[in-house]
Structure 1
Amino acid sequence: MNGKSLFALAVLAVGILVANSTLYVVKETERAVLLEFGKMSPDEITPGLHFKWPIKDEVRIFDGRVLTLDTHPQNFMTVEKKGMIVDYFAKWQIKDVHKFYTATGGDEATADRLLAQRINEGLRNQFAQRSLLEVVSGQRDELMIQLTDSLDEFSRTSLGIEVIDVRVKQIELPPEVSGSVYNRMTSEREREAREHRSKGKEQAEFIQADADRQVVVVESEAYRDAERIRGEGDAIAAATYAAAYNKDPEFYTFVRSLNAYKKAFKDKQDLMLVDPDSEFFRYLKDAQGKVK
């Protein structure tokens, strides 16, 4: 290797050292502040390639993505002076990097500690205004929304971070109160069950009474229609018989006599005591039915 090659390598090495000490890159997912002899510059550093002076300038880069605060479960008291163990988490993100650096020194652990203190205080105040039942079931979502809004307002102005969400992962009751709470919840559910059964029985009786009434109405209307149709049929039959009788009274009398004979002599074991001169034997004595 000749002297020119060594000189080129030396120049390249010096160039790399100079570039490493004077150039820096801020990614889209990062936030950064520039310190000039330890004093923070008010200028905003945008993502991209930037220049800095060696020795004079120092760049501090922080994670600009959404971060998670996950703390240990804490003890809180309700308005009924009943304790509970609450496990929660929070989502936050740096919005004002200058305020963030001023308040925390750029330490995420410090930011988590300060934020956890405010969340604990907010949860303690919110739980102290509500009963155990409201905290466990009825108003948890409303509580979290109110806490997130108030906490975000403080953290933006004081810490330079945005609180995106605060959520309760789990609520556990201390052993000394869990039994009484579960008994109370069981009694409440049994009361609701009895109330629902009572309402159901009342509705069932109403439905049954209405069904019985409809059955009576339908049967009455059916009987009325049947009697009306039967009466109409009898009237038509009587009119038909009368018309037939008027056309040939003798034939009609003959047919009725034959039907009477048929019914009278249907059973051979029957005995009849009838006067031979009776009108009943009129057509048996004479085909024309003439009385002698």
Structure 2
Amino acid sequence: MNSNKPVFILIGLLVLAFIASKSLYVVSETERAVKLRFGKMEEADIAPGLHLKVPFVEDVRFFDARVQTLDAPPEDFLNAEKKLLTVDSFAKWRIIDVDRYYTSTNGDVRRAASLLAQRISEGLRNEFALRSLSEAVALERDEMMEDLTAGLVDATREQLGIEIVDVRVKKIELPNDVSSDVFRRMRAERERQAREYRSQGQEVAEGIRADADRQKIVIEANAYRDAEILRGEGDARAAAIYAESYGKDTEFYTFWRSLDAYRHTFNRDGDIMVLQPDSEFFNYLKDSNGKAD
């Protein structure tokens, strides 16, 4: 009888260990948990730490309390211009009311994602229906996402126990069957703008060239006028100097002019002059006083 005592003790310890493993559980900081008794809610939102439960009577369900990502498949929406857009979006969400979350989804994260995706899809459809393509893509994109997030927060919190942290659009595309037509229209519009810019540039260039030609003519005319004025003043000044010099010594001035005429007349070989012998041109060649015979 004593020889079987260690076996009973070992079996007792194993039974106690098994009961303890079924009675103790730990809720971490990144989890939310609910306690069920025969499938009915007994305790919701259990605090993190070590807790006890009744084995085989109570059950504990754990849920991830961290921010999760819902990456929905692309969907087609009509915008304010009645154009069909393919929108690819995602959302960030987390559980804030474990009791309501478990009640509405039975703790199934796939069901929660499905219900959340339906509400996000409906919100996106409403927001895109109010905006044009340019507004949705660039001008009011942030405002649209903020309005969508604000509109979903209260509904998902009350109905699903979920908080929408953020909703974002990753990509907006036109469907393949209409994108080619849109691209052709965009190309035609860009080509029209390019032609318009070129014609405007040519018009400006012609104006610049005409102004440059006009300025050139004006500058040349002014330069010619100033040159003629300076030339006339120089000639007048030279004539005045010549006249003054001639008046001081008429004989010497006549002699100097005759010598200058001889120098320019006979400076090349073969030059021929036909003059009468008594011409005044030869006065200083005949007489040093320049008197004719």
TM-score (norm 2): 0.73
Unaligned runs of 5+ in 1: 1-6
Partner of 2:190: 189
Amino acid at match of 1:157: D
* Alpha-carbon distance in structure 1 between the residues aligned to 2:143 and 2:42: 35
Distance 1:182 1:198, change over 3 A: same
Partner of 2:263: 262
Distance 1:110 1:59, change over 3 A: closer
Distance 1:290 1:157, change over 3 A: same
* Alpha-carbon distance in structure 1 between the residues aligned to 2:145 and 2:46: 28
Amino acid at match of 1:171: E
Partner of 2:159: none
SS of the residue aligned with 1:39? strand
Partner of 2:154: 157
Q: Report whether the alignment pairs 1:218 with 2:215.
A: no
Distance 1:74 1:164, change over 3 A: same
Partner of 1:166: 168
SS of the residue aligned with 2:52? coil
> Superposed, which structure 2 residues align to 1:7-156 within 5 Å?
22=24, 24=26, 26-27=28-29, 30-35=30-35, 37=37, 39=41, 45=47, 50-55=49-54, 58=60, 60-65=62-67, 67-79=68-80, 81-84=82-85, 86-94=86-94, 96-98=96-98, 100-101=101-102, 103-130=104-131, 134-135=132-133, 137=134, 139-142=136-139, 144-156=141-153
Number of aligned residue pairs: 275
Moved more, 56-65 or 86-95: 56-65
TM-score (norm 1): 0.74
Kept in 2: contact 1:148–1:166 (CA 8 A): yes
Shift of 1:62: 0.9
Partner of 1:234: 235
Kept in 2: contact 1:90–1:163 (CA 8 A): no
Moved more, 116-125 or 236-245: 236-245
SS of the residue aligned with 1:52? strand
Identical amino acids, percent of aligned pairs: 40
Kept in 1: contact 2:94–2:164 (CA 8 A): yes
Unaligned runs of 5+ in 2: 1-8, 157-161
Amino acid at match of 1:58: V
* Alpha-carbon distance in structure 2 between the residues aligned to 1:186 and 1:43: 58
Distance 1:278 1:79, change over 3 A: same
* Alpha-carbon distance in structure 2 between the residues aligned to 1:239 and 1:152: 99
SS of the residue aligned with 1:277? coil
Shift of 1:92: 0.7
* Alpha-carbon distance in structure 1 between the residues aligned to 2:181 and 2:188: 10
Shift of 1:210: 2.0
Shift of 1:74: 2.0
How large is the Cα RMSD of the aligned pairs? 3.8
* Alpha-carbon distance in structure 2 between the residues aligned to 1:240 and 1:104: 120
Partner of 1:275: 276
Deviations 1:220-271 (A, max 9, x none): 2322332233233333433443444344443332221122112323444443
